[in-house]
Structure 1
Amino acid sequence: MDREHHLKRLGFRAWHRGTREADYMIGGLFDRYAAEWSDEEIAWFERLIEQEDVDIMAWAMGKEPVPAAFDGPLMRTMQKLDYISIH
């Protein structure tokens, strides 16, 4: 699958999480940064979105410790929550 198609599929999954809050958090992160991601960062995001929304949101909001597998620069970017735009 080419990169563009792969990103489209990930974008759909990022914005169809099941709750509006998770959609904004995960989909917003994707929309803001995915075009700049390396293959490794895309793979990280793909692993991340396999996790439960409540866990992802707890890590991003600092309510739970981030597991080592997800700790790093992208999680710190997610934790800023400055990419969310609600109209």
Structure 2
Amino acid sequence: MTDETPLDLRRKRLIYRSSYRGSKEADLFLGAFARARVPTMPDDQLDRFEALLEEHDPDIMDWILERQPMPEVYRNDVMALLQAFRLTP
């Protein structure tokens, strides 16, 4: 039997889903971000991050890197965290 809560399982699922997207660029960046930030995200941020993960990798990366205009729905605190995140300190 496990002592994991539904929230713990959700966080693990989001970290896994972020790390195995299909494109190497997204796997590396979103996976590292998720490992660093998801464990402490409140439910509302988890909701926004999970919604973003429904999008295609090239679109997500283009929005993060500001190569393409970002849809208004993703102009939020989670995207700001993604844009400020760096793989190296």
State the 1:27 CA deviation: 1.0
Any unmatched runs of 5+ in structure 1? none
SS in 1 for 2:46: helix
Partner of 1:30: 34
Q: How many residues align?
A: 84
**4+ residue stretches of structure 1 with deviation over 4 A?**
none
Q: Give the partner amino acid of 2:36.
A: R
Residue 67 of structure 2 corresponds to residue 73 of structure 1 = no
Q: Using CA pairs below 8 Å that are at least 6 residues apart, which structure has the higher relative contact order?
A: 1
Any unmatched runs of 5+ in structure 2? none
Residue 11 of structure 2 corresponds to residue 7 of structure 1 = yes
TM-score (structure 1 length as normaliser): 0.88
TM-score (structure 2 length as normaliser): 0.86
How large is the RMSD of aligned CA atoms in angstroms?
Answer: 1.3
Query: Which of structures 1 and 2 has the bigger CA Rg?
Result: 2
